[in-house]
Amino acid sequence: MFMFPTLFVTVIVGVVLLITSVVSKETGKKFTAGDIIVAVIHFLSLCAVALAIVQIGFAAAEKWIPDLLVDNAWRRQSMIESARYAISVLIVTAPLYFIVVRKSQKAMDSWMQKFTAGSVLLVAGIVAISTLAVLVYNFISGEIGLRLSVQLAVVLLVSGGIAAYYQLHFRENVKRIALIKKFYLVKVVGVTLVAIVAGFMVTGGPAGARAERFDDRRLSDLSNMQWQIQSYFEENRTMPAKLLDLHDATRGYALPADPRTKAAYEYRVIKESTETIDGEQRAVAEFELCATFETERTIDSGADAYAYETKSSALQYDSFLPSYYQGDLSPHWNHGIGKECFTRTIKRHQTTIAPERSELNVINAEPVYVD
């Protein structure tokens, strides 16, 4: 939403500055290549800081003001990833922006500063108007008004604060200009720190992200082991007595362990039996896989409305995909903090039982003729 107008105006700024540098001798203005670099860095770093703060504000609004109509597992994960990216951009570009602003403030009345300020005001206006249009569209489409109001307030505060400062470049005889410069930098530093703290609260910080990655690895390991157990059951018509039975050098499968503690995962066969349904006899096996998790995983698919145990899932002989780990899209691997066991049932089509019928003496039977 913000990237295209920003890049468009950035290109315009760079082209105009380059053209101006070529004709600077004829116009009599002191305009060097270093001035061009400073102006472009000034503009780009400001855009990066402003967009990162807005992105973190949007992510915080989505996390703390949920909307059941539009929120889902994919959107939540995308929101967290975008917030992490925004934090990294903010940490890298904010110091660069402070340095460039301090350097640029020494030549506040120069043509270059006025042009850069005008470009900033143009982008701020484009972003504010386009964001307002998108948020109004989302509100008309049925999203929660409170969350959209918070997101709109974030955009207006950021763009309005930037515009309030850069419009000073076009005003003459501004009183207490040095104090205003210092106040602006202090405000930017404060807003940046608040945005970084809010971003860590939304994403859980580096420690939380690392714990989630460990849990994702555990679920991936359990999912692969589940597939290996099913394959073993299909080939041997019996469940493996222990996980070591799955260790197969021929197929290249090596048993995984907990990525952090290196402890073995737990496996237990609950039952093995047969059942007959509509004349078809099937081998049935029920087992569970256990691991210890560091975070909570809650993916809501609405399945609870159908009143069945979401932890159990029958694995048919022709497909294991419905229960296979699918990142944040499958509720079959939801878990809490601590030890969690996942129960699975395998049903293997084995034989078909012929229906009972009376024996007919077809040898001595005589044909019957009907007139």
Average pLDDT for consecutive 10-residue bins of the chain (371 residues)? 55 61 55 70 85 91 80 76 91 90 62 72 79 80 78 86 80 67 84 93 88 90 90 87 86 89 94 78 87 88 54 44 50 89 81 47 42 42
Alpha carbons 87 and 49: distance in angstroms, whole number: 10
Phi/psi of residue 273, each to 5°?
-155, -175
Are 230 and 264 within 8 A, CB to CB? Answer: no
User: Which residue, 287, 284, 270, 272, is CA-closest to 349?
Assistant: 284
**Is the distance from CB of 313 to CB of 322 less than 8 angstroms?**
yes
Q: Which residues of 246-263 are buried (b: 16+ CB within 10 A; e: fewer)?
A: beeeeeeeebbeeeeeee
At what angle are helices 33-64 and 73-104 packed, to 10 degrees? 150
Taking a C-beta distance cutoff of 8 angstroms, is the pair 243, 224 a contact? Answer: no
Q: Which residues contact 238 (CB under 8 A, 6 or more apart)?
A: 272
What is the reported pLDDT for 366? 46
Largest CA distance in the chain: 125
Amino acid at 310: T
In this prediction, residue 13 carries a pLDDT of 61
Give residue 4's region: left, alpha or beta (phi > 0; psi -120 to 50). alpha
pTM for this model (two decimals): 0.69
Q: Are the C-beta atoms of 349 and 282 separated by less than 8 Å?
A: yes
So where are the chain's domains?
3-203, 208-352
- Predicted pLDDT of residue 30: 59
Q: What is the pLDDT of residue 166?
A: 82
Task: Mention every residue, 6+ apart, whose C-beta is less than 8 A from residue 134.
Answer: 1
Closest by Cα among 250, 270, 255, 269 to 222: 255
Residue for token pair 């949920």: 66
Rounded CA gap, 237 and 239, in Å?
7
The pLDDT value given to residue 332: 82
Contact 46/117 with Cβ under 8 angstroms?
no
Q: What is the pLDDT of residue 345?
A: 87
Q: From CA 92, how far away is CA 94, in angstroms rounded?
A: 6
Distance CA 174, CA 166 (A): 12
Going from the C-alpha of 202 to that of each of 171, 196, 198, 206, the distances in angstroms are: 40, 10, 6, 11
